[in-house]
Structure 1
Amino acid sequence: MTQSISERFVRSRKVDKTTNWKSQTQLIWDPDEVETHYEQPKNAFCHFRKVFNLPEIPHKAALKIFADSRYVLYINGHPIGRGPCRSDPRMQYYDEWEVTSHLKSGANVIAILAIHYGYGTGQSVNRIPALIAEAEIQVGVESPIVISSDTTWTCHPASAYNRNAPRINGCQGPIEIYDARLALIGWTGLPFDDSAWKPVKGRNSVLSPFWNWAMRDIPHLEEGIVDAQAIVNTGFVQQFSDPVERIHHQIFAEERFIQITGGRLDDKISDYSVERNVDGLASIITFEFPVMEVGYLQLDVTGCQGAVIDVVYAEELWEGKALINLAYSRQIDRFILAEGRNQLEIAFAWRAFRYVQFRVRSTEGPVVFHRVGVRTRKYPLEQTAFLHSSNERLNGIWEISARTLRLCMQDGFLDSSSREQQQWMGDGRWQAVINSYFSGDSRLHRKLLEQIGQSQDWQGMTKARYPDGHHNYPPIPSFCLAWISAFADYRRYTGDDALIREWWPKLVGALRWFSTYENEDGLLEDVPYWAFIDWAEGPDGPLLDDQRGGIITSLNLQYVEALQAACTYAELEGDSEALHYYAEKAQQIKSGLQQYLWDEEKGAYVDCKVSDRLSEVVSEQTNALALLHLHEASDERAQIVYRAVFGEDKKGQVVAGSPYFMLVICRALQKVGAVTRALELIMNRYGAMLDAGSTTTWEKWTLFHNDNEGTVFFFSASHAWGTAPIAFVFEGIFGIQSLEPGFKRISLSPAYGAVSHIHAKLPTVYGELELHLRQISTSEWELEVDVPEGCLCEIEGDLLGKGRHVLSIGGV
């Protein structure tokens, strides 16, 4: 559709005026900590309260709220929710909660625990200490009662939280060190004496660093309660003593002195008593959850005043130990007990873990663990895909893939639900594609594209992850190309091309950035910044040759993909000049790669060319991209590549793709008709995770790495970039291709022989597409398809509409 003049030159308003706050609603904070805009407190935990009266029970009430950096909201003592979701402060999201059922006639109280980090994280861009809230309460037929954050609110420092706590890592906020002896009992409800609290300081919500306000465009996260299922070991550890600022150093130093002396206890998990410490030793006790969970740890424990419980979270254990890494994974918290029974819950620092290892430090008496649990959090999905097959190993791989995808779907597509919790573009692209098959919910997909776009600089380059406020890594050019190409993914799976029209000028700007680094043959050469393509097999196996500069083959192939996507966008926009330019440019690069990066002797494309010399490294990553973007399946060179790089009898060393690249590899093998080979790779590589007892998919093919000096490094065990088997079931085994965007018209070309029986359900905007493939005899198959209304399905020359269809296929 050709863009009209107004659409090309005039931009519509993105934020409706109705989303502004009422004139009396102010940004508030503790007056002792907001003297200026430029001197900000660090790890500032603060309580806020507002007591108000209602003449009767309301019939409708909603509360809008935002905090920089985080909040927990209570109404009359009832926990309502946490927030806000990640956003760019220039388009600042706020939350809205339905609170009608929690209000009553007479006195009511809004209570909020908030924290201002005072620094940027991988989920938040630091601005100023700020809380803003506005409740609109409908009582009777009169105008609503409005309760606004202003100077009538009171506040009090949340002294139970230690502000000197170090950060979890560069991507997250502080470790929570909580002293229950200093807790304000009953502060979230009524009655409570807050006469000693001070009035807040209020600031104009218009003259602030939050320029545009918008209600969050994704649903509130879904919460649940899960209890630990077993104690897996017990023991002791020699205690060290460090100030709280160095709690991570203390925990790390003690690691090598841990002695595991007791085994699994399945039937003694409730009211388990840990005796008091003697001889300078702390007790070790490790609880296990049925599967990996994401959320806020909950403890119900009884102990003596001042007893300390250090918490070390682990996705997996190494020789019975929960390990930390001082540089990037300080997954720890600390509780200091009040006398008697303590009901404890982490406020802000949500984690991913299957194991919780406690170091109990109590010299005065025992500590009794009545319950260990977690308040889980995940993105709510109305429907999800289904799989059951005759291959139990495939079923298990599907299960761990689906679980990992859910864990990493939070307020964005996150790389890892444990270590970083960041929205990376490269990771997010494949998660969004995979989720298009898993749930069909496209809201996080759209949010990913818009928020990465918000990071674009004046030259056109996007940040590799966003929103983030710690700026500790340069851009990744391949992730910028992924952003460009991902708009085509979004259109393919949703049928919505409005996003392309909105972002077309910015997409052109991003491609313009790459043009700066084209050589005389049109190939990208010596492109700056972080040349990340894939982790490959490191650190235990061979790596890609992509860090020496020069012409990186895989980056050029990703450039081809982005240019070809841009041709589609240009055609949609009626931009004939762009269409012609990008088509010519893509062809020029393809020709150059075929001429200059092919190694005839190896029968493959090499990773790079530096100073006119071809690399010796051949990789799955480079050649999978070549199969997808350089060759048709019938090309002679495509068959040579398959045999040399992916065949079972390949000769010479080939660098394997990590879980991140498995979707690309599977798609390449599907293109050349090697679905069975793709399934073999999935079974072998992901099967190792099943064999290790994992309930999630990993960042790499190995989880722990023991270096030559005896130091054990570990990688993420909940990395959703590795959930490609979900998409492979539909794209590979059933051979689904989208002929019209949004699954309105699809084709099926099943891989007969891959699995003898498989049953799957694919959620679409039209309803579930249900698929059964059964082997009847050696050469006969039955395919049963239930097509939802609004969808058309092509198979074996037939066009199937709404309803159940059974096809018999013989001679396969």
Structure 2
Amino acid sequence: MKEQLFELAKPVWLQGKAEEIHIRAQFRAVFRCEEEEVKKAVCRVATSGIYNLFVNGRFVAYGPARAGKNHFRMDAVSIEPFIKKGVNVIALEVAGYYVNSYYLQCQPSFVQAEVLCGERVVCHTGGTDFIARINPYAVRKVMRYSFQRPMMEAYRYGGEEDGFMCAPDYSGEVFPQEIVEDKKIIERLAPYPEYESVQAQPVSYGEARPGYQPEEIWKERASKSMGPKLRGFPLEACEWNVVEEVQRFQYIASPGMLAGEALPNHHYQIYELPYNATGMVDFEAECASEMDLYCMFDEVLSQGDVALPRMGCVNVVKYHLAPGKYHLKFFEVYTMKYMKFIASGSDCTVKNVRMVEYKHHPVQLSLPVLNGNEKLQKIAAAAVESYRQNAVDLFTDCPSRERAGWLCDSFFTGRVEKLLTGQSLIERSFLENFLHEESYAFLPEGMLPMCYPSDHDDGNFIPNWALWLVVELEEYLARSGDRMLVDAFKDKVYRLFQYFKSFENCDGLLENLEQWVFLEWSRANDLTQDVNYPSNMLYSGALRAAGRLYDDGVLLERAKQVKEKILEQSWNGAFFTDNAVRQNGALVFPNESTEVCQYYAFFFDIATPKSHPKLFHTLLEEFGPERKQTKHYPEVAFANAFIGNYLRLDILSRYGYHKEVLQNIEGYFYYMAEKTGTLWEHDGDYASCDHGFASHVLYWLNKMC
């Protein structure tokens, strides 16, 4: 963890506003750059929130790379293509959310920035260079975007913009600033993202009749949960209830297409991107009368339309527009293939609709196994796209609903980073973040957060995911050689096992684990108490990994004992059973088996093809993508995409069943790649259709080359 120092910049914020919810602050400075310095221009910036950087009115960057509690990574963004000799304007818009989330931690707001031309600092925060204000167009009191992410976006524009963000001269009001306490600034490890632009095309339109009375108004989860454990504005305090507003239209599809770019009053138009993409929507709008313009969005269409409830997020941005022309861009990044513009109050021209993508820089991958197979080529392209959108500053589960750095997911994505880049920089950054806190608020001593950097004020955690971190550390060491980071985790690993020790029963198996015992989204999740054998299979694997990492024979022996007890209790002669329940002091065995339980057994070497040949060949030949059609073994509950199908494919790959792996990959993933150009969280499109772990398909394909 290398510290990064600013030369002159100090951390600042709007006076008295550092601990207020959702302050959208804007900072600007005017500077001169000499001709010989233009090619050496850099903006350094760090913040506890999210920033958008502009130079001379042009968008340059979104950030920062996230870090653990009380640590902040410094971006050093090249601004050479955007500056000119002479006078330039640099502007930062920073969202100080100051709410708990899975995306950003709740910390006092600040920004620290300086611009270098050549070796010279030409402007910096903390002096007189930067002036600041609250964004006068952003509506502050809005609902959260989701339970996992901070606030949605809504705007009120009164006409032409005032030039604060781009004009060399500005004489309007400013807000006083204050220098805040020094921050621990550290280096950014992840590569800087690309900002590619992809155009959207209109695909359908229809009426949006106002005054509609639906049978039920859908409400986002967070809006019903505001309180001490989930910070934000209660619904009654929000200036607009945008979620209800868009449900008060009756949407009636029209045949054909709109002629031109004019969107009539009380009509909508749906645009489509070439694939499911992540970034900031950018478009132009013009209206002759005061109006509301809504932009709804989603990854797939629901019955031919864009609908809010599918993802459970506030997938809508509202603009209240006075007459005028506007160039509008979302501040935050979201994920979508479809966007739906709704005009209410006036006709409106909407044109040049595009997405400014925010994702990992392009990667090169040559896989001879794909030659001539169009389906596999499409799946591989979707896997690359899923990786690029979920591996920017750290590994995320999805770039939409959460943008959170989840354990277990990271085990799989870490393999892909090494394959695609030859390095493990993002994985190192992801793992290093967990070291920034000695212990974690609201979690038991020794437990690790299920996703991080994040807040867990409700005390929730997944004990299984902490064990996956230990398993990942062993593979991370093998691919990176980073012994220093692995050794830095030793104390946390041993404290974690001390935590689990208190849940071991007289057989040495974990029993009655706390909180969210999670295996995957399937029937297996209903069979987690009292003694859950897949959890204990993972426990054995984590003990064995730690024993090898830290040369600890005691941990290796414990791993062996757990394995022996699982074999003794879980194996019924045909399948591994999922759990045992304690009744009157004794364990009783319901004898229910799930598909994913079998995969846990083989993945963590509780079983092998040699030790359990009949079961292995049953799984190989009679399970897989077609089992829902063949109805084989209906008593064994189906696995879901993550992690059951992934464990299955990894096991087949491990033991050299390459033909079956290719067949399974086509069966599991082609329909996803065909529909969205990305790979999904589940085996259906009822949740995220863009998940980072899904890029692991590339790892298996590469092993066959």
Same fold (TM over 0.5): yes
Q: How does 1:131-142 map to 2 (within 5 A)?
A: 131-138=111-118
Asked if residue 254 in structure 1 is aligned to residue 254 in structure 2, the reply is: no
Q: What is the aligned partner in structure 1 of residue 575 from structure 2?
A: 604
Q: What is the aligned partner in structure 2 of residue 231 from structure 1?
A: 203
Asked if residue 351 in structure 1 is aligned to residue 327 in structure 2, the reply is: no
2:199–2:355: 8 Å Cα contact kept in structure 1?
Answer: yes
Q: What is the aligned partner in structure 1 of residue 599 from structure 2?
A: 624
Q: What is the aligned partner in structure 2 of residue 375 from structure 1?
A: 356
Q: What is the aligned partner in structure 2 of residue 391 from structure 1?
A: 373
Q: How does 1:685-724 map to 2 (within 5 A)?
A: 685-690=668-673, 693-703=675-685, 714-724=686-696
Asked if residue 91 in structure 1 is aligned to residue 71 in structure 2, the reply is: yes
Larger Rg: 1
Deviation of the 1:468 alpha carbon: 1.2
* Distance (whole Å) between structure 1 residues aligned to residue 83 and residue 634 of structure 2: 71
Deviation of the 1:87 alpha carbon: 1.5
Q: What is the aligned partner in structure 1 of residue 264 from structure 2?
A: 275
Q: What is the aligned partner in structure 2 of residue 498 from structure 1?
A: 484
Deviation of the 1:466 alpha carbon: 0.5
Q: What is the aligned partner in structure 2 of residue 583 from structure 1?
A: 556
1:230–1:289: 8 Å Cα contact kept in structure 2?
Answer: no
Asked if residue 43 in structure 1 is aligned to residue 16 in structure 2, the reply is: no
Query: Are residues 194 and 27 of structure 1, via their aligned partners in 2, closer, same or farther at CA, if it must alter by over 3 Å?
Result: farther
Q: What is the aligned partner in structure 1 of residue 6 from structure 2?
A: 21
Query: Are residues 119 and 64 of structure 1, via their aligned partners in 2, closer, same or farther at CA, if it must alter by over 3 Å?
Result: same
Asked if residue 682 in structure 1 is aligned to residue 669 in structure 2, the reply is: no
Q: What is the aligned partner in structure 1 of residue 307 from structure 2?
A: 323
Task: Give the gaps of 5 or more residues in structure 1.
Answer: 1-13, 277-281, 537-542, 572-578, 704-713, 735-770, 772-812
CA-to-partner distance for each residue in 1:302-329, whole Å, 9 max, x for gaps?
A: 2124222111111001112211139931
* Distance (whole Å) between structure 2 residues aligned to residue 604 and residue 301 of structure 1: 61
Among 103, 117, 131, the residue aligned to 1:154: 131
Among 110, 127, 130, the residue aligned to 2:90: 110
1:632–1:638: 8 Å Cα contact kept in structure 2?
Answer: no
2:467–2:542: 8 Å Cα contact kept in structure 1?
Answer: yes
Task: Give the gaps of 5 or more residues in structure 2.
Answer: 214-234, 624-629
2:423–2:480: 8 Å Cα contact kept in structure 1?
Answer: no
* Distance (whole Å) between structure 2 residues aligned to residue 328 and residue 135 of structure 1: 40
Q: Which amino acid aligns with 1:596?
A: Q
Q: What is the aligned partner in structure 2 of residue 298 from structure 1?
A: 282
Q: How does 1:437-452 map to 2 (within 5 A)?
A: 437-452=419-434
Residue 595 of structure 1 aligns to a residue whose secondary structure is: helix
Q: What is the aligned partner in structure 1 of residue 193 from structure 2?
A: 221
1:151–1:199: 8 Å Cα contact kept in structure 2?
Answer: no
2:198–2:354: 8 Å Cα contact kept in structure 1?
Answer: yes
* Distance (whole Å) between structure 1 residues aligned to residue 271 and residue 490 of structure 2: 51
1:545–1:615: 8 Å Cα contact kept in structure 2?
Answer: no
* Distance (whole Å) between structure 2 residues aligned to residue 42 and residue 306 of structure 1: 29
Among 498, 505, 519, the residue aligned to 1:519: 505
Residue 605 of structure 1 aligns to a residue whose secondary structure is: coil
Asked if residue 200 in structure 1 is aligned to residue 200 in structure 2, the reply is: no
* Distance (whole Å) between structure 2 residues aligned to residue 106 and residue 396 of structure 1: 48
Deviation of the 1:548 alpha carbon: 4.8
Q: What is the aligned partner in structure 2 of residue 780 from structure 1?
A: none
Deviation of the 1:169 alpha carbon: 0.9
Deviation of the 1:103 alpha carbon: 4.8
Asked if residue 422 in structure 1 is aligned to residue 404 in structure 2, the reply is: yes
Q: Which amino acid aligns with 2:485?
A: L
Q: What is the aligned partner in structure 1 of residue 151 from structure 2?
A: 174
Asked if residue 340 in structure 1 is aligned to residue 324 in structure 2, the reply is: yes
* Distance (whole Å) between structure 2 residues aligned to residue 112 and residue 688 of structure 1: 42
1:620–1:646: 8 Å Cα contact kept in structure 2?
Answer: no
How many residue pairs get matched?
Answer: 664
Q: Which amino acid aligns with 1:434?
A: V
Query: Are residues 161 and 644 of structure 1, via their aligned partners in 2, closer, same or farther at CA, if it must alter by over 3 Å?
Result: closer
2:337–2:676: 8 Å Cα contact kept in structure 1?
Answer: no
Residue 505 of structure 1 aligns to a residue whose secondary structure is: helix
Deviation of the 1:114 alpha carbon: 1.8
Deviation of the 1:682 alpha carbon: 2.9
* Distance (whole Å) between structure 2 residues aligned to residue 393 and residue 72 of structure 1: 38
1:452–1:465: 8 Å Cα contact kept in structure 2?
Answer: no
1:249–1:326: 8 Å Cα contact kept in structure 2?
Answer: no
TM-score, normalization: structure 2? 0.87
Deviation of the 1:361 alpha carbon: 0.7
Residue 318 of structure 2 aligns to a residue whose secondary structure is: strand
Deviation of the 1:532 alpha carbon: 0.5
Query: Are residues 584 and 252 of structure 1, via their aligned partners in 2, closer, same or farther at CA, if it must alter by over 3 Å?
Result: farther
* Distance (whole Å) between structure 2 residues aligned to residue 723 and residue 646 of structure 1: 25
* Distance (whole Å) between structure 1 residues aligned to residue 619 and residue 413 of structure 2: 29
Residue 244 of structure 2 aligns to a residue whose secondary structure is: helix
CA-to-partner distance for each residue in 1:142-172, whole Å, 9 max, x for gaps?
A: xx34532125232222111111121111222
* Distance (whole Å) between structure 1 residues aligned to residue 613 and residue 655 of structure 2: 8
2:69–2:453: 8 Å Cα contact kept in structure 1?
Answer: no
CA-to-partner distance for each residue in 1:115-153, whole Å, 9 max, x for gaps?
A: 2112122221122231211233347xxxx3453212523
Q: What is the aligned partner in structure 1 of residue 521 from structure 2?
A: 535
Q: Which amino acid aligns with 2:50?
A: R
2:680–2:694: 8 Å Cα contact kept in structure 1?
Answer: yes
Deviation of the 1:405 alpha carbon: 2.0
CA-to-partner distance for each residue in 1:224-252, whole Å, 9 max, x for gaps?
A: 11111332343333346999645343246
* Distance (whole Å) between structure 2 residues aligned to residue 300 and residue 192 of structure 1: 24
* Distance (whole Å) between structure 2 residues aligned to residue 438 and residue 596 of structure 1: 42
What RMSD, in angstroms, separates the aligned Cα atoms of the two structures? 2.8
Query: Are residues 83 and 194 of structure 1, via their aligned partners in 2, closer, same or farther at CA, if it must alter by over 3 Å?
Result: farther
* Distance (whole Å) between structure 2 residues aligned to residue 122 and residue 506 of structure 1: 21
Asked if residue 68 in structure 1 is aligned to residue 48 in structure 2, the reply is: yes
Query: Are residues 362 and 702 of structure 1, via their aligned partners in 2, closer, same or farther at CA, if it must alter by over 3 Å?
Result: same
TM-score, normalization: structure 1? 0.76
Q: What is the aligned partner in structure 2 of residue 10 from structure 1?
A: none
Q: What is the aligned partner in structure 1 of residue 648 from structure 2?
A: 665
Residue 26 of structure 1 aligns to a residue whose secondary structure is: coil
Asked if residue 549 in structure 1 is aligned to residue 529 in structure 2, the reply is: yes
Query: Are residues 89 and 525 of structure 1, via their aligned partners in 2, closer, same or farther at CA, if it must alter by over 3 Å?
Result: closer
In terms of fraction of residues, the more strand-rich structure is: 1
CA-to-partner distance for each residue in 1:96-129, whole Å, 9 max, x for gaps?
A: 1233565555544332222211212222112223
Q: What is the aligned partner in structure 1 of residue 567 from structure 2?
A: 594
Residue 557 of structure 1 aligns to a residue whose secondary structure is: helix
CA-to-partner distance for each residue in 1:625-654, whole Å, 9 max, x for gaps?
A: 212334564534243354268625853422
Q: Which amino acid aligns with 1:614?
A: F
CA-to-partner distance for each residue in 1:572-613, whole Å, 9 max, x for gaps?
A: xxxxxxx2101110110111001011112xx01111111112
* Distance (whole Å) between structure 1 residues aligned to residue 393 and residue 690 of structure 2: 16
Q: What is the aligned partner in structure 2 of residue 790 from structure 1?
A: none
Query: Are residues 669 and 639 of structure 1, via their aligned partners in 2, closer, same or farther at CA, if it must alter by over 3 Å?
Result: farther
Q: Percent identity?
A: 19
* Distance (whole Å) between structure 1 residues aligned to residue 31 and residue 676 of structure 2: 51
CA-to-partner distance for each residue in 1:355-406, whole Å, 9 max, x for gaps?
A: 001111133xx21222211111101245335452343333332222222222
